[in-house]
Structure 1
Amino acid sequence: MMFPVTAGQFDLVYNALSFTLASMMASTIFFWIRMGSVSEKYKSAMTITGLVTFIAAYHYIRIFNSWNESYHYPEAADGVVQDPVITGQPFNDAYRYMDWMLTVPLLMIEIIFVMGLSPEETAAKATSLGVAAGLMIVLGYPGELIIEGDLNVRWMWWTLAMIPFLYVVHTLLIGLQGAIKEEKNEEVAKKLNMVCWATVVSWCTYPIVYVFPMLGLDGPSAVVAIQLGYCVSDIISKCGVGFLIYNITIAKSNPEGYAQVH
């Protein structure tokens, strides 16, 4: 369902999407250019880190174009810019969920790949976290389509999506602590903890943004708040966590040089 928006609301989402797209593109270039600085053992983690932001950049192009195509500015009246009007082309926010279906499991995998687990543990943890992350996205999408009317349905899907979400949070903050404690490099161990916490904190913004319509926001206000909230969450969870992963791979590739620099 499309809602009329003011010029300020349209521009706010327009600029947020543009900024997020630029962040994803710049991060991708950085991660892949710097891949040669890490040892062969951690290049897979860096490749995945770049893939996450690359996939996100592609989908942000689609979201940005869809938002642009959904509204049109009429001719200015006496030099005054009018509010945009609905073109009839629906805003396809499903691109965001298609992005998350790919990037969220990859985010889990990139963290596991820098943990120093055995091949068996790496495969098991990456699989369980990837499946849980994908299930979380699948369960959240039906409720995302409802921002007005009977919001109890939205609450139901939010609750179901929180089950795999809490499993992921428990694994990151508790289940991986054993592997972090076995890390001999204290600086690396701190950064591994930081990655887990940064992921959890950034992910907590998603369920909060999800409940905006249930907190009284409706119509265009809900659409704008959701778009801005998800843009902030994506930058933190993809670009921010990606740079932490990069620092960890650098530290593990050359621990002595890392210690001298830091």
Structure 2
Amino acid sequence: MASITATQFNLVYDVLSFSLATMGATTIFLWMRVSSAAERYKSALIISGLVTFIAAYHYLRIFNSWTEAFEWTKDGTVQATGIPFNDAYRYMDWLLTVPLLLIEIVLVMNLPDDEIFSKASKLGVASALMIILGYPGELVLDENHLGTRWFYWFAAMIPFVYIVYTLLIGLADATNSETDLTVRKLTKGVQWLTVISWCTYPIVYVFPMLGIARDDIVVYIQLGYSVSDIISKCGVGLMIYRISMAKSVALRRGSEQTPLLA
């Protein structure tokens, strides 16, 4: 395990704690607002809350692993305990939450049911493949074997590019078909927020290849991935909530204006 300073330990400790609290709070909010959504959009809110709930659980495990991997000495410094820091929890989290995150986006879009299933299935498989391909390279931090890390980075970028293409171009017609201007802007916003936040993951992935000192790599990776997770899970989840509420209001107004048949 890399040696770190007390400041670095506290920084990661605080960011992991903040991430855990953010995921938990977002989960509670989303699930408590499910009853306010129209039946058609309740699944999207439930899945959004499920994404942050799963993330909160794994952040708890990451946080505990971090505190077990290091200990404070009597002279006020931090040293490794010899217990490996298990960052695999993060990839287990992504394997579950990333497909669900894409599904929640598809569920609030203006698509027929059969196309919803098709798009959700393809995006779910592509995202799982992206995580599986990226994980082996994440384990490579040795400067002498960074070529292997690059290989897995490029492999994972193939499904990544497909997902980005689908979100911004493949679903463009569905986005533009939204008659409500506010909903259309929110839908475009959630697509772009997802893509922009996701672009931070491959950047953090290449940190070890940028000549950053190995003692600092673990810290930078934890900070980078935590910030990305908050944006892509909590931020996107709250935008899904806004879209669901806006569409629910529109549905209720439409039903109120439709006269009952005798």
The alignment's TM-score, normalised by the length of structure 1, stands at 0.94
Letter in 2 for 1:221: D
Paired with 2:29 and 2:251, the residues of 1 have a C-alpha distance of: 23
Equivalent residue for 2:248?
Answer: 253
Contact persistence 1:206–1:233 (CA under 8 A): yes
Match of 1:91 in 2: 85
Which residue of 1 is the match for residue 33 of structure 2? 34
Residue among 208, 212, 220 paired with 1:213 = 208
Q: Bigger CA drift: 212-221 or 119-128?
A: 212-221
- 1:147–1:218 contact (8 Å) kept in structure 2: no
Q: Which residue of 1 aligns with 2:157?
A: 162
> CA offset at residue 218 of structure 1?
3.1
- Counterpart AA for 2:16: L
1:194 to 175, 181, 189: 189
Partners of 2:125 and 2:16 in 1: CA distance: 28
Structure 1, unaligned runs of 5 or more: none
SS of residue matched to 1:232: helix
- Per the TM alignment, residue 203 of structure 1 is displaced from its structure 2 partner at its CA by 0.0
Task: Report the Cα distance in structure 1 between the residues aligned to 2:252 and 2:44, rounded to whole angstroms.
Answer: 20
One of 101, 123, 126 as aligned partner of 2:120: 126
CA contact (8 A) 1:148 1:218 kept: no
- Give matches, 1:1-262, under 5 Å: 2-76=1-75, 81=76, 83-149=77-143, 150-255=145-250
Structure 1 letter corresponding to 2:79: V
Offset of residue 255 of structure 1: 2.7
Alignment-mate amino acid for residue 4 of structure 1: S
- C-alpha distance after superposition, 1:42-94 (max 9, x if no partner): 00000000000000000000000000000010123xxxx2x211111100000
TM-score for both structures, normalised by structure 2: 0.94
Contact 1:136/1:162 (<8 A) preserved: yes
Query: How many residues are paired up?
Result: 252
Percent identity among equivalent residues? Answer: 60
Given that 1:173 and 1:197 are in contact with CA atoms closer than 8 Å, whether structure 2 keeps it comes out as yes
Q: Distance in 2 between matches of 1:257 and 1:231?
A: 38
**C-alpha distance in 1 between matches for 2:79 and 2:192:** 42
Unaligned runs of 5+ in 2: 254-262
Q: Which runs of 4+ in 1 moved over 6 A?
A: none
Partner amino acid, structure 1, of 2:190: V
Work out whether residues 38 and 251 of structure 2, in 8 Å CA contact, stay in contact via their aligned partners in 1: no
